[in-house]
Amino acid sequence: MNYRHIFNILGIITLVWATMLLGLVFIWKFIVPISYPSESYTMQFLIGIFKVGASGTLALIWLYLWNKLVQIYFWKTLKAGT
Amino acid sequence: MISAPDLIYAATGFTISFIITFILVPFLIRKFKEKGIVGIDVHKPEKPEIPEMGGLSILISIIVSTVFLIIVCNNLTKFFITFLIVVIVVGIVGAIDDIKPLNPKLKPTLTALASLPIIIFGTYVPRPVFPIIGKTRLTIVYPLLIVAGLAVSTNAVNMLDVFNGSMAGTCSILLLTLLISSIILGSNIGILLSAITLGSLIAFFYYNKYPAKIFSGDVGSLTVGAAIATIAVMGRLEIVTVVAMMPHIMNGFHSLASIGGLLERRQIKARPTKVLADGRLAASKDPKAPITLARLILAGGPLYENEVVKVFILLSIYSGVLAILTALLIAWGL
């Protein structure tokens, strides 16, 4: 069994876990508190949309990078084995 | 708040579901062989025929032990009835899929709709607790997350049910993680429901481990996935479950990302793995094949089927440790 390879997969899991927690903290500390000094309902609604959009975009970027990392690692390992 | 009777009920529920599954599986093996309800074990060179739909024993044992919990724990009846309805509905969807394969888009839709009892009965708290952040308020988004979460969980568990003992082994570790996390976070619903599902799965693993005497079928994998998602929501273990499910999520996510959408296993022409002449499994070099967790593991070199399952279980144990660490971070208020 290729233990080094399994250790690398465990490393990917650890990285994904750590970045997920960091991402959550980032969203909570920097995106959720965003406000605009206006009582207007439309403005509040737009800010709400912006917060959801920004958080969603960050989550998508995170998923894209995770997928890219696994793809690059997979093909590199497969080619190294042949 | 966890009380001593809750722990006794959890232990009794665990024992009931374990015994029912343990007794029921040999009976199902005989019956399914007689009726010809069998599947081919494609990862073995001799391609043996193995009885399918053994997950029916998991569904039956979960139903019986949940009824036991309804009788003994009067204060949580609403939660147990919700759990029962969700698991039965998803189990029926799985059984139908085993008999006549459903459309690959219809299956997740039906499993997502099975989450509606949780929303209708209001057996959820839309304030998930995260480590470092603490309590959050997701009043509007949370019900949508329940629907998506159930579809993701059921299908992620189903997608990892590819080798002998892979689903039962990894999900047993996952449920043990949820049980320990429930104790850490003081979730009595989590303890009771994890214990009964774990009891059933450990007994099933005995027959499903390499070389398998029975397959769980979709009735088993979808039932277990639904049970896990419902425990996560009602037991307030959302983030812990996501972390503990990392191998399942990785398998499903990278498979779907590499083939570009929802496809039924039978529809994917390029297989992710191949069986070598010596019985070992190797990663396919076909660029069109999905990057499943098994293919990722096998990229490091060919392995026997039981070795791949051992790596699955190792990854589940590691994810379980990270999940328990997450639960501790929440409990310590960090």
Check CB contact under 8 Å for B285 and A82. Answer: yes
Report pLDDT for A59. 92
Q: Which whole number is the average pLDDT over A59-67?
A: 93
pTM of structure: 0.93
Q: Which of A74, A75, A76, A82 would you mutate first to test chain B, the one with the most B CBs within 10 A?
A: A74
Closest chain B residue by Cα to residue A76 = B299
Check CB contact under 8 Å for A10 and B303. Answer: no
Report pLDDT for A15. 96
The C-alpha of A58 sits at a distance from chain B's nearest C-alpha, in angstroms, of 17
Interface check for B133 against chain A (CB to CB < 8 A): the answer is yes
Report pLDDT for B51. 94
Interface check for B304 against chain A (CB to CB < 8 A): the answer is no
Rounded CA separation B301/A81 (Å): 7
Q: Which of B299, B301, B314 sits opposite A74 (nearest CB)?
A: B299
Interface check for B289 against chain A (CB to CB < 8 A): the answer is no
Judge contact between B51 and B26, C-beta under 8 A. Answer: no
State pLDDT tens for residues B264-297: 666 667 889 999 988 899 999 998 899 999 999 9
* Averaged pLDDT score across all residues of chain A: 90
Q: What ipTM does the predicted assembly reach?
A: 0.88
Interface check for B296 against chain A (CB to CB < 8 A): the answer is yes
Interface check for A71 against chain B (CB to CB < 8 A): the answer is yes
Q: Which of B132, B254, B318 sits opposite A10 (nearest CB)?
A: B318
Interface check for B274 against chain A (CB to CB < 8 A): the answer is no
pLDDT at A82 over 60: no
All residue ranges of chain B with pLDDT < 50 are: none
The C-alpha of A5 sits at a distance from chain B's nearest C-alpha, in angstroms, of 6
Question: How distant, in Å, are the alpha carbons of A6, B124, B130, B154, B182 from that of B142?
Answer: 35, 9, 14, 18, 21
Check CB contact under 8 Å for A78 and B299. Answer: yes
Rounded CA separation B96/B227 (Å): 18
Nearest to B170 by CA among B300, B294, B289: B294
Domain with A34 in it: 3-81
**Extents of the domains making up chain B:** 4-238
The interface residues of chain A toward chain B in range 20-39, judged by CB-CB distance below 8 A, are 20-21, 24-25, 28
Interface check for B276 against chain A (CB to CB < 8 A): the answer is no
Rounded CA separation B215/B171 (Å): 15
The C-alpha of A37 sits at a distance from chain B's nearest C-alpha, in angstroms, of 22
pLDDT bracket for residue A67 (50, 70, 90)? very high
Question: How distant, in Å, are the alpha carbons of A69, B11, B50, B192, B254 from that of B262?
Answer: 22, 39, 27, 34, 12
Residues in chain B closer than 8 A to A64 (CB atoms):
none
Q: Which whole number is the average pLDDT over A5-33?
A: 92
Report pLDDT for B256. 87
Count the domains in chain A. 1
Number of A/B CB contacts below 8 angstroms equals 73
**Helix B217-234 to helix B77-99 angle, to the nearest 10 degrees?**
150
Report pLDDT for B49. 93
Report pLDDT for B55. 95
Q: Which of B152, B322, B325 would you mutate first to test chain A, the one with the most A CBs within 10 A?
A: B322
Closest chain A residue by Cα to residue B255 = A67
Q: Which of B131, B254, B299 sits opposite A81 (nearest CB)?
A: B299
User: Count of alpha carbons within 13 Å of B291, Cβ hemisphere only?
Assistant: 21
Q: Which of A25, A78, A81 sits opposite B132 (nearest CB)?
A: A25
Q: Which whole number is the average pLDDT over A23-48?
A: 86
* Cβ within 8 Å of residue B267, ≥6 positions away: B104
Sheet strands (E) in chain A:
none
The C-alpha of B269 sits at a distance from chain A's nearest C-alpha, in angstroms, of 20
Residues in chain B closer than 8 A to A28 (CB atoms):
130, 132-133, 136
